[in-house]
Structures are given as structure tokens and as C-alpha cells.
Structure 1
Amino acid sequence: MKALVVEDEFKSRTLLQRILSRYGACDVAVNGEEAIGAFVQSWKEGEPYDLICMDIMMPEMDGQQALKDIREMEKKAGVEDKYKVKVIMTTAYDLQEEKDEAFEWGCTEYLVKPIDKNKLLEQLKKYGFVD
């Protein structure tokens, strides 16, 4: 599994990176703009991400906009749904409006912070990233 953690908060970024790096390569970005850059670069290198864990509220570009941009790029490239990157949105606020928007734009899962390692691992198992 190749993963990208997109999180502006150091503690959350470190926790996610520590968990995910046990299962494969794990890169980090601190905002949506960096996430888009990393996503595009991974495609160019022929090693796209399998998973992106992305915070919703970040400076520069938030996670919702980055998710929209990623899904638009996949759509333009003709990526079939089953091959699209899995995106787990993370947020400190459990707001239904945010959830609805995230799923509308194609997030795969949604986790509320603080991140529960067991819940994250359950989601990873669901998509075959961990045993």
C-alpha cells in the first residue's frame, strides 16, 4: 500500500504516518495544495497512491477542495471507480454538512479526530490494505 497523509497538525500527521507506514510507503503533505502536487507526481512516476488520509480544515487549500480536484483529475483521465484512490477524510468536527459534502465529492470513508487506531485499521481491512 502506498499512502499519503495530508494534515496540517503535527500530532495528527505523525500519528497517521506512524500507523500507515507499518503497511507500506507513506508520504506526507501539510495542505491541499501539497496533496495535489504529490498526487500528480505519483501518477507521473507510475506509482499512484492507494490511500489518502486527508484533513478537511487546512490552510492554503482545504481537504474538500483537494478531494474535488483529485476526483476531477481521475475523471478526466478515465480512471474506473474501482481504481480510484481511496480517500479517508479526517476532521475535528463531526458536522453532517461536512460529511455530506465529503461523500458527495467522492470520499471513501470519514473519521472524526482524535483518530481511533482501531477504527482506521477496520477501514483499511475493508479495502484489503491490511490483514
Structure 2
Amino acid sequence: MRILLAEDDFVTRKFMDSFLSKYGECDVTVDGMEAVDAFLMALEEDEPYDLVCLDIMMPVMDGYQALVGIRNLEKERNIPEDKAVKVIMTTALNDEKNVKMAFDLGCTIYSGKPIDQARFEQALKKLGLI
């Protein structure tokens, strides 16, 4: 499985990279702009990601903007919805407004922080990624 992680917090980034690396190759970015660029590069190299984990509160481009960018790239390439990358939003913003916005923009799963490893693994299983 190819995984893209976008997380600006160093400690969380290290934790998530270590955790996700058990399930596949994990590329790490520190903001939304880098994530969209990495996603585009993977598409151009015909090695798309299977999973993208986006923090919401990041510099340069936040997770919402990155999610829109990723979904727009998929639309431009006529990638059908059933083949679209799975996106898990990882954030401390757990209020109803933020959760609803993430799903409205096309996230697959919303995971609050701190990350509960067992629940996160259940989400990966639910998505058929592990």
C-alpha cells in the first residue's frame, strides 16, 4: 500500500509515519501544498497513493484545501469515485462543523486526535486497506 501523510506537527508526524509504515510505503509532507504536489507526482508516475492522511490545521495550505486539490486532480484525470484515493482527515478539530465540512469536501474517514491506534486500524480494515 502507498500512503501519503501530511502533518505539520513533528511529534505527530513521527508517530504516524512509524505507525503507518507497518502497512506500506509512507511518504511524508509537512503542509497541504507539499501533499497536493506529491499526489500529483504519484499520478504522473502512474504510482498513485492508496491512502492519504491529512491534518486539517497546516501552514501554507490547510487539509481542507489539500483535499479539494486532490479531488480536483482526480476529476481532471477522470478517476471514477470508486477508484478515488481513500482520505482520512486526522485532526484535533472534532466539532460537528469541521467533521461535516471534511465529508462534504470528499474525505472518506474522519479521525480525531490523539490517534487511537486500534480505532485507526479498524478504519483501515473497513476501507479494505489492511
Give the equivalent residue in structure 2 for 1:46: 46
Instruction: Give 1:12's aligned residue.
Output: 12
Q: Tell me the secondary structure at the aligned position of residue 49 of structure 2.
A: coil
Distance 1:127 1:98 in 2: 21
For residue 55 of structure 1, what is the aligned residue in structure 2?
55
Q: Deviations 1:85-123 (Å, cap 9, x if unpaired)?
A: 000001112111111111001000001100010111001
Q: Which residue of 2 aligns with 1:72?
A: 72
Q: CA RMSD in A?
A: 0.8
CA distance in 1, matches of 2:58, 2:6: 9
Separation in structure 2 between the aligned mates of residue 93 and residue 104 of structure 1, nearest angstrom: 15
Task: Return structure 1 stretches of 4+ with deviation > 2 angstroms.
Answer: none
Gaps of 5+ in 2: none
Q: Deviations over 1:54-92 (max 9, x none)?
A: 100011000000101111111121111111000000111
Identity %: 48
User: What's the TM-score, normalizing by structure 2?
Assistant: 0.97
Q: How many equivalent residue pairs? A: 130
- In structure 2, how many angstroms separate the alpha carbons of the residues matched to 1:94 and 1:66? 18
Secondary structure class of the residue paired with 1:79? coil
**Aligned partners of 1:40 and 1:93: how far apart in 2?**
27
CA distance in 2, matches of 1:11, 1:82: 33
Unaligned runs of 5+ in 1: none
